[in-house]
Amino acid sequence: MSLLQAWLLVGVPGLVVVAGLFVGRSRTRALIGYAVLLLLIAFFVTIPGGGYSAALVGLVGVVFVATGRGTRLDERYAEHHEERRRYTTAAAEDSA
């Protein structure tokens, strides 16, 4: 399998799956995403000439770690639906 075929068959779909797993702030999905990234790195290391590709996939993992995905920083982060108070029915009932 050539490097181009490896990217088209495994690399691009794998990175799309990883991106989907890191959407939101779920710690479980982030850990699964890191596991998929490790599998992609292991796959590209086995392909002849895939060392740079493995480093590129590893760089994606480093960026996710640097932004705090799957770490304790996610626990302190509130999603937009958790902060939303302006449009609740409780505020309308209190003013009536």
pLDDT in tens, 2-33: 999 999 999 999 999 999 998 877 888 889 99
CA-to-CA distance for 23 and 8, rounded, in angstroms? 23
> Which candidate, 40, 34, 36, 48, places its Cα nearest to that of 3?
48
For residue 32, what is the enclosing H or E element? Answer: helix 27-46
Helices 12-21 and 27-46 meet at what angle, rounded to 10? 160
Whether 95 maps to a domain, the answer reads no
CA-to-CA distance for 31 and 21, rounded, in angstroms? 9
> What confidence score (pLDDT) does residue 95 get?
53
Whether 76 maps to a domain, the answer reads no
Whether 45 maps to a domain, the answer reads yes
pLDDT tier at 85 (50, 70, 90 boundaries)? low
Cβ atoms of 30 and 69 within 8 Å: the answer is yes
- The model's pTM is 0.73
> What confidence score (pLDDT) does residue 26 get?
81
Number of domains in the chain: 1
Whether 62 maps to a domain, the answer reads yes
Instruction: Say which residue, 96 or 81, is predicted with more confidence.
Output: 81
Report pLDDT digits (tens) over 39-50: 999 999 999 989
Whether 11 maps to a domain, the answer reads no
> What confidence score (pLDDT) does residue 59 get?
93
Whether 59 maps to a domain, the answer reads yes
Whether 43 maps to a domain, the answer reads yes
Full domain range(s) for residue 44: 19-70
